[in-house]
């Protein structure tokens, strides 16, 4: 499965759990760590875990993929799923603002996810 389809599935799974402000950063031309970084937020520990669990379930069922690494799920302030070509970050709002990954990766192409579509916001 190509990484664009994978990121669409992951973003849809986040949206299904009412994740806020879903941003997708295409970084394949500026970094070798991944093709995409997905950044979103949940308003509580429970919502962050629900988003992460739904992404993991969706990618397992739809793409037959398991994460290479998982971090922060128990604390659920900043949880991460690493799928190699796609890195998923789910923050609570204060942590998202503090780490500001969108600014760090601003040299990539930034997309928003609206109505189940990727929309380019900025071409780095």
Domains, the chain, in order of start with CATH, read: 3-122 (3.30.460.10)
The residues, ordered by sequence, that sit 6+ positions from 32 with a Cβ below 8 Å of its Cβ are: none
Q: How confident is the model at residue 110 (pLDDT cuts 50, 70, 90)?
A: confident
Cα-based distances in Å from 12 to 53, 55, 103: 13, 8, 23
Q: Copy the structure tokens of residue 26.
A: 């295409």
Q: How confident is the model at residue 124 (pLDDT cuts 50, 70, 90)?
A: very low
pLDDT at 121: 53
pLDDT single digits (tens) 54-77: 999 999 999 999 999 999 999 999
- pTM summary value: 0.90
């Amino acid at each position: 499965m190509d990484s664009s389809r994978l990121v669409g599935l992951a973003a849809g799974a986040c949206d299904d759990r009412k994740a806020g402000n879903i941003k997708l950063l295409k970084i394949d031309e500026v970094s070798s760590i991944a093709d995409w970084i997905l950044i979103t937020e949940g308003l509580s520990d429970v919502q962050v875990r629900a988003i992460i669990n739904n992404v993991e379930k969706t990618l397992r069922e739809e793409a037959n993929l398991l994460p290479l690494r998982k971090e922060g799920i128990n604390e659920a302030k900043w949880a991460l799923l690493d799928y190699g070509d796609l890195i998923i970050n789910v923050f609570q709002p204060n942590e998202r603002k503090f780490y500001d990954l969108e600014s760090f990766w601003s040299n990539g192409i930034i997309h928003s996810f609206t109505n189940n579509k990727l929309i380019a916001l900025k071409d780095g």
